[in-house]
Amino acid sequence: MDIRNCFKQKKSFVVVDSFYVNINATNYWGQTKDNCIVFVETNGTAPEIYKSSIPDIPKIKNNGSILKLHISKWHIDQRVHMYVLYGTFCNGTQLNFTDPANCVFNTIDTELCHIRCIDTNTVCKKSAYDKEECSTMAPNLKNEYIIDINSTTTNCINCNNPVKKPEEKKVLNTTLSEKGGEIIPANAAKLMNDMGNLAANINGSSAEISVGEGVKGVLVKETHKDEVEEVLFAYQSPNDSINIIDNTETLKNFSRAVTLPKEAFDKAIAQNVSIPFAALFRFINMAKDEKNSTVLGNEVLAIEMGAAIANLTDKINIVFTNMTYRGIPSCHSWNGQGSQPNWTSDGCVTNITKHGITCQCSHLTFFAILMTPLNETISDSDFKNLTIITQVGCGLSMFFLAIVLFMHFLSRRIKATNATKILINLVCALFLLNLTFLVNNYVANLNNSVGCKIMAALMHYFMLATFTWFAAQAFHLCLSLYTGGKIAIHRYILKIAITSWILPSVIGIVLLCIGKYGEQVISYQNTGNAADRVMMCWITDNSVHLIINIGYYALVFLFTFTTFIIMMSWFCCLRNVKGAKAKGEQSSINILSVMGLCFMLGITWGFAFFAYGVFQVPALYLFTILNSFQGFFLFVYYYKTSRMLPPASDGKSSSVSNITDKTSLSSFTNPYSNWLS
């Protein structure tokens, strides 16, 4: 009878004798129930026929008059009740005793035989590993629990080191890295898919696996499907070997720990896995995803069990403690498909405490903790205030921009000047930019990657288009001043419109094709709460953001600000001339005139793009508040200029071009000038 099945019977009798054998008790000594009788040789060694079951066979050591029972962790996990028979004459008559009411460490004595009843789980489960005492007893003693049978009190010395090294070592001749030293993700996924074959080829129950520099793993297999339990792994640093751990308390001694629940093994067995196994691999310096995401510790963990494991109720725990990091950690997974990791937070929950980070995931795959840069200069209250001001300001600005568009298309009888046509295009771009910004967060929270990329591309396009129309407005003002209002360029507005609408679309299409748009998390607190994060569809590569957005607007700002200085000089000259003719009229430029010109040229955007250091928060407040009135001032500008224009007539048009402004500088009368007096 198999020794394991023998010990699973109702009663297990360990008879101290001079030989080894185990028998089914129903066939011997008149037993009427399925019990197990194991004869153990004192100070003996189990014969070769028990080689595969040696860890499960109890041992009896006799040191003078002291008998000590040596058992394994398996007996404790299986809650085996052992009845140890020792004395000068123990036979079948002693086996028919009455069970004690509470078998923990009880003694039943007869004239020639003593029976010690031991509940292995109760006696030894809570005993702590005592390395010093075990070394004193026997230097080579390991993986055993020792019980003094002669003692009158409950006792158990734990010599089972909870930190286990794998039984075998294997080195795989597989190329995972490229010339630059980064591990190729597709090669790593292929390696994990081959773990089933490797599990079948190892002789022991565990093996340490090395695959080149930066890749180490451990494979543990269970040969008895009905006895699988949770498996624990742990290691201290990225350069250390991965250990197999016996209990959860010991995990606290390591900075990295992984717990695979029993449910995962049950699901693997249900999918007809021939040999239940679990393989954990650690990949250092794996190639980054298309978002260039930062991975905590540059460590990617992968778990494979030879089956598709998902929807676990008892989650896989991945714990990182005593880690130094900057930013907001978030647990992500990758299913191993594709040439690059496509990290997603689906199926994983991130718990952040003062001690470390815990990832609780319901499926098997590749795992990593991605870091979102922490906003170190904006407080929680400032972030929330700016968010509210921005949303309200966008809504207010859209309201006035919508009125401008309504008035323009309603009053088609009035012939629009070039300046008005450019203004209407700017209003359209700005209106669509505000609209896409307001719906962006809603789309991001839908968790639709395709929809999020499209939303990010649209918002980016309208932002670049708005910048371009700022530049177009400045160009028109400079050209009008230079030509005295007589612009003689064929299809002037058409050329400006094509440039201003098409150029941003080219940039957007290129970024969309190379995968630079996606979901971005804006965090402002170092916690794991979802309430402290704002989801947004935007550019995922910070380098692209700096080059395209900051660089593009910097050029636009340089041009529009120069135009602003020129226009302000012209206003000053105009006011001096007007002041000489109209005594008593104010000679200073009204602040509303300056602000109107700033909004028309997009100068106020500079507060957001050039806000750094201690001036960042005040600059962002100025940006959000001032841009809340952008639609209003553009509305005032349109309303004033439209009132100055006469109704369209069928008279002679310019012979130079169909698209000209008024032929004198009087066409540049400040629309806010009526407010000066």
pLDDT value at residue 675: 33
Burial of residue 25 (number of CB atoms within 10 Å: 0-12, 13-18, 19+): buried
Do 45 and 117 fall within a single domain?
yes
393 and 365, same structural domain? no
Q: What are the φ/ψ torsions at residue 534 (nearest 5 degrees)? A: -120, 125
pLDDT, greater one: 423 or 591: 423
Is there a single domain that holds both residue 346 and residue 241? yes
* 233 contacts: CB under 8 Å, gap ≥ 6: 218, 242, 243, 244, 245, 257, 258, 259, 260, 280
Q: Are residues 223 and 296 in the same domain?
A: yes
Please state the φ and ψ torsions of residue 186, each to the nearest 5 degrees.
-65, -40
DSSP 3-state of 623: helix
CA dist 408 and 425 (Å) reads: 11
Look up the CATH number of the domain holding residue 209.
Answer: 2.60.220.50
The CATH number linked to 506 is: 1.20.1070.10
DSSP-assigned beta bridge partners for residue 351:
358
Q: Is the pLDDT of residue 317 over 70?
A: yes
Structure tokens at 497: 């419109």
The structure tokens 């005032």 sit at 636
Say if CB 466 and CB 555 are below 8 A apart. Answer: no
Q: Do 416 and 516 fall within a single domain?
A: yes
The residue with greater pLDDT, 35 or 127, is 127
pLDDT at position 232 is 94
Per-residue pLDDT of 323-338, as tens digits, reads: 888 777 889 999 999 8
Buried b (16+ CB within 10 A) or exposed e, 570-599: ebeebbeeeeeeeeeeeeebbebbbbbbbb
Same domain as 327, residue 277: yes
Burial 433-443 (b: 16+ CB within 10 A, else e): bbbbbeebbeb
Is pLDDT of 652 > 60? no
Please give the order of strands across the beta sheet that includes 59-63: 59-63, 66-71, 144-148, 157-159
From 135, 161, 187, the end of a domain falls on 161
Give, to the nearest 10 degrees, the angle between helix 551-581 and helix 449-483: 30
Q: What is the mean pLDDT of residues 332-352?
A: 88
- Could you tell me the pLDDT band of residue 32, with boundaries at 50, 70 and 90? low
128: Cα separation from own chain's centroid: 37
In this structure, are 368 and 475 located in the same domain?
Answer: no
pLDDT at 584: 42
Provide the domain limits for residue 310. Answer: 164-372
Give mean pLDDT, residues 170-196: 86
Asked whether the predicted pLDDT for residue 175 surpasses 50, the reply is yes
Co-location of 471 and 544 in the same domain: yes
* Residue carrying structure tokens 């400006």: 496
CB 327 within 8 A of CB 371: yes
Q: Which of 339, 372, 405 is a domain's end point?
A: 372
pLDDT at 462: 96
Q: What's the rounded Cα separation, in Å, for the pair 333 and 293?
A: 13
Q: How confident is the model at residue 290 (pLDDT cuts 50, 70, 90)?
A: confident
Torsion sign over Cα 497, 500, 503, 504: negative
User: What total number of domains does the chain contain?
Assistant: 3
Q: Are residues 481 and 509 in the same domain?
A: yes
Per-residue pLDDT at 393: 92
pLDDT > 70 fraction of the chain, expressed in percent and rounded: 81
Which residues, including other chains, have CB under 8 Å from residue 498's CB and lie 6 or more apart? none
Check pLDDT > 90 for residue 112.
no
Residues 222 and 337 reside in one and the same domain: yes
Q: Using CA atoms, how far apart are residues 419 and 417, in angstroms rounded to an integer?
A: 5
CA distance 436 to 657: 37
Which of 100, 128, 161 marks a domain boundary?
Answer: 161
What confidence category does residue 655 fall into, taking pLDDT thresholds of 50, 70 and 90?
Answer: very low
Single-letter amino acid code for the residue at 11: K
d(CA 284, CA 229): 29
Higher pLDDT, 608 or 591: 608
118 shares its domain with 170: no
What is the spatial distance between Cα 660 and Cα 457, in angstroms, rounded to a whole number?
35
For residue range 554-605, list pLDDT tens digits in order: 999 999 999 999 888 877 776 666 554 444 444 344 666 677 788 889 988 8
- Position 651 scores a pLDDT of 40
Helix H or strand E segment including 434: helix 418-444
Q: Are strands 168-171 and 256-260 parallel, antiparallel or unpaired?
A: unpaired
In whole angstroms, what is the distance from residue 474 CA to residue 602 CA? 10
| Same domain membership, residue 535 and residue 399 | yes
